[in-house]
Amino acid sequence: MPKGRKPAGFFDMAARKRECVKCHVVKPFEGFHAARTAIGVKSVCKECHAAKYAKWETPSLKAKRREARERREAFLDTLLTCPKCGGSKPRRDWPKQPRRGGHYNKTCCLHDTNAVTEPIRADGTRRCRDCAEVKPVSQFPANKRNSTGIQAYCYDCSKERTKVWKHAKPSALRAQRERRYRRILEQSDGTLEAALLRRLFLCSHFCPYCQKEMGRHDKTLDHMTPLALGGRHSVENVAVCCKDCNTRKGAKDFDAWLRECNLAETDWRGPRSQQDGGGRFLRRFHWDGGSMDTARPAF
């Protein structure tokens, strides 16, 4: 054995084993760190050594952590002004949105609105965030990204917000319309010609979903199977409906939309094959490919 102080604990140079003075377990020399001792290894095994220095930090790391804590405290002490009530609160006292990963609310008084809105939702109604009116859930647009599945603004307020957005971001609106136009070109089968569309709009006077009479500026072209769900831009998959129903329908499945409108699916499907597409809808208008009946369809 090399010269030096006698190591503590049991050791066996022939078997290359020694006892850890911390956990008192006999382990091979490979379980100890090398050291300038009489037997060439430390008296504490690697596991006990790691447990002892697990929370040890270098002076530079301690300084970095201290600076991070100071920046965090300064960030939480920042005063925020509520755009609704005009009050100011430090960020640490600002309410958060637990459903959105703890993001901060836009207003400090939003948590009071949520306390009033939560019991209202159970009754099939919701409070609009803009006009603060309690309305049925059916008067709110759908929103798949929201945890509730519906938008926080009613249809009327959504229209106003859309107008503001269109005026503020014309380039984004132009890009959105270009994407829509490209999708129509890709999914078109060439059956919807300009003359046929004009005739379809002229001969449609009542919305097939809500059965309300439509004015000239209230008519819109609806794809019964949405383009986003793989529907075709063809004469068998379009219908003329009012703006409100088209906005409410969005990209919903057609059968689910019929159930929402309380329309019997048997009246729409009829005796047809799966390849018949939406031709059932035009037959309700007695369209035979050459003429249209302007009378109100019976649903």
pLDDT in the model for residue 48:
92
Contact 38, 6 (CB under 8 A): yes
Say what the alpha-carbon torsion angle 43, 46, 48, 53 is, to the nearest 10 degrees: 110
pLDDT in the model for residue 74:
92
pLDDT in tens, 235-263: 888 889 988 888 888 888 888 888 888 77
pLDDT in the model for residue 294:
36
pLDDT in tens, 3-38: 445 566 788 888 889 999 989 899 999 999 998 888
Identify the helix (H) or strand (E) that includes residue 74. helix 59-76
pLDDT of 291 above 60: no
pLDDT in the model for residue 122:
64
pTM beyond 0.85, yes or no: no
Taking the C-alpha atoms of residue 74 and residue 11, their distance in angstroms, rounded to an integer, is 56
Longest dimension (CA), the chain: 113
Q: What is the mean pLDDT of residues 213-225?
A: 88
SS (H, E, C) 126-151: EECCCCCCEEEHHHCCECCCCCCCEC
More confident of the two residues 102 and 215? 215
Give me the domains of the chain, ranges plus CATH numbers: 11-50 (3.30.60.130), 189-284 (1.10.30.50)
pLDDT in the model for residue 277:
36
pLDDT in the model for residue 298:
32
**What's the mean per-residue pLDDT of the chain?**
77
Rounded to the nearest 10 degrees, the angle between the axes of helix 170-186 and helix 155-168 is: 110
Beta bridge partners of 103: 97
**Chain position carrying tokens 């290359």:** 16
More confident of the two residues 281 and 13? 13
Going by C-beta distance under 8 Å and a sequence separation of 6 or more, which residues neighbour residue 149? 142, 143
pLDDT in the model for residue 275:
30
Backbone φ and ψ for 54, nearest 5 degrees, come out as -65, -40
Per mean pLDDT, which of 47-61, 106-120, 146-160 is the most reliable?
A: 47-61
pLDDT of 154 above 50: yes
pLDDT in the model for residue 150:
79
**Chain position carrying tokens 């219908």:** 239
More confident of the two residues 116 and 152? 152
